[in-house]
Amino acid sequence: MERGSNLQIKTGERGIPEWMRRALLAAPGISRLIRLRNGARNFEDPFAFVDVALRELQVQLDLPAFEEDWIPATGPVVITSNHPYGGLDGLMAMATIGRRRRDLRILTNPELQTLPVGIALFPGEYTMPWGEIAAASTLATLPLIFLTLLFQRGIVRGLSAGAVKG
């Protein structure tokens, strides 16, 4: 567990148990991420932070040089992206675009978040609303359960047909 990490996880009556807080802080990679987050405040240049973060996370992007030529070096440009891997995709996009042009601005839209990301953002600053998270997760699975019940015969038929050797 890293001391002085500024990671605030409330324990006690309404927070998570102390053993879980310790487990979260001891999880592999957490101390490295905390170090990166705290170190980000020391960088004037965001692209320098991106380079350090990718190096610290041991992520290397192998992109052919001609692919970067698709990014205009000057003039107006809008690049849209969906990040299925969250922050890591964003860091790689910033590193790639930043090599070509430094006038990069990043806009996010919370309405475009996937359901699991939205549920993951439920926790408050000092509490974990387990009831709300469980309710949202249950509501998210209801359409899948309905579709499975609706098409169960076809699903079973397809699984059975694929299992037959002959």
91, burial (CB in 10 Å: exposed 0-12, middle 13-18, buried 19+): buried
pLDDT digits (tens, 9 = 90+) for 62-109: 888 788 888 888 888 888 777 666 677 888 888 888 888 888 887 766
Q: Which SS3 state, helix, strand or coil, does residue 5 take?
A: coil
Question: Rounded distance, CA 6 to CA 146, Å?
Answer: 44
Q: Are 49 and 104 in contact (CB under 8 A)?
A: no
Q: What confidence score (pLDDT) does residue 3 get?
A: 43
Query: What total of structural domains would you count in the chain?
Result: 1
Mean pLDDT of 22-48: 76
pLDDT digits (tens, 9 = 90+) for 130-151: 888 888 888 888 888 988 999 9
Does residue 101 lie in a domain region?
Answer: no
Does residue 128 lie in a domain region?
Answer: yes
Range of the domain at 135: 113-166
Does residue 120 lie in a domain region?
Answer: yes
Does residue 143 lie in a domain region?
Answer: yes
What are the two backbone dihedrals, phi and then psi, of residue 87, each rounded to the nearest 5 degrees?
A: -65, -30
Does residue 150 lie in a domain region?
Answer: yes
Bridge partners of 11, per DSSP, are: 16
Does residue 131 lie in a domain region?
Answer: yes
Residue 104 CB partners (closer than 8 Å, separation 6+): 94, 97, 98
Q: Are 91 and 84 in contact (CB under 8 A)?
A: no
Does residue 164 lie in a domain region?
Answer: yes
In this structure, which long-range contacts are made by residues 126-134, counting pairs with CB atoms below 8 Å and at least 24 apart in sequence? Answer: 126/8, 126/10, 126/15, 127/10, 127/14, 127/15, 128/15, 128/16
Does residue 146 lie in a domain region?
Answer: yes
